[in-house]
Amino acid sequence: MNMLQRQSPVRFSARPVKTEVRDGWTVVLEYAAQGDGLHLIDLSHRAKWDLQDGDLSRFDIAGTPIPSAPNTCTLKNGTAVCRRNRTQALIWHLAGDPPELPEDPALTDVTEASLLAALTGPNIYDVMEKICSLDLKDPAKTTPRLIQGPALHVPCLIMDLGRMGDRDVVLIACSRGYGRDMTEGLLHAGAEWNMAPAGETAFTRLFDI
């Protein structure tokens, strides 16, 4: 056994049928019997950066400036950039190969700090309604958008990507330590709609549609 393997905070009991080793991570691309219904997808291995600076307007990440209003996002070339507050933004590299972390002290690589999971497919907003009182069903919403608030009593960063291809997509990030309880809680809440763990491809393919 090659000992130098990285580990995700998530453990799914489903059987992986297709995997890929990437930068030390064994990324599951597909699980057995994942189907095409409601999916829960572990993206914890995806690169995540924290950006903090007194003047965020000087930055240009993934070819776009940082959005000026808090909790608004851009999604371009597989990278989501969201404004968190006056001085802070988050950058999640969701698809494709992540770029090198630029040599700027304003940026911190926080990939390791959190669980990142995607909920895709039908009923994802019904699942969210069971685990938080944040208004993900707001008919006036524009996506993508960021919601900073608690789900299952744990502080989360919830990114509502809205409709991507044929599916609704919501990303949830929380402290890595909560990773197992959070994914188990999500699966429990989604059981009535047969939520199933799915591999990374089920998510990244949405960027190609």
Sheet holding 154-164, edge to edge: 145-151, 154-164, 167-175, 114-120, 39-42, 196-198
Residue 14 tokens read as 């489903």
* φ, ψ dihedrals at 86, nearest 5°: -55, -35
Q: Which of 19, 64, 71, 143 binds another protein (CB under 8 A)?
A: 71
Classify strands 196-198 and 39-42 as parallel, antiparallel or unpaired.
parallel
Distance CA 151, CA 50 (A): 21
Stretch binding another protein (CB under 8 A), from 59-67, 163-171, 181-189, 196-204: 181-189
Ranges within 82-121 binding another protein (CB under 8 A): 84-85, 87-88, 105-106, 108, 110-114
DSSP state at residue 2? -
Per CB under 8 A, 178 contacts another protein = yes
Per CB under 8 A, 53 contacts another protein = yes
CB of 102 to another protein, least distance (A): 15
For the beta carbon of residue 50, count every other beta carbon within 10 angstroms: 15
Classify strands 60-61 and 107-109 as parallel, antiparallel or unpaired.
unpaired
Binding mask 115-154 for another protein (x = CB under 8 A): --------------xxxxx-x-xxx-------xxxx-xxx
Name which of 63 and 101 has its Cβ closer to another protein: 101
- Give the total residue count for the chain: 209
Q: Which 3 state secondary structure label does DSSP give 56?
A: helix
List residues binding another protein (CB under 8 A): 3-9, 11, 24-25, 44-45, 50, 52-54, 70-71, 84-85, 87-88, 105-106, 108, 110-114, 129-133, 135, 137-139, 147-150, 152-155, 175-182, 184-185, 188-189, 191-192
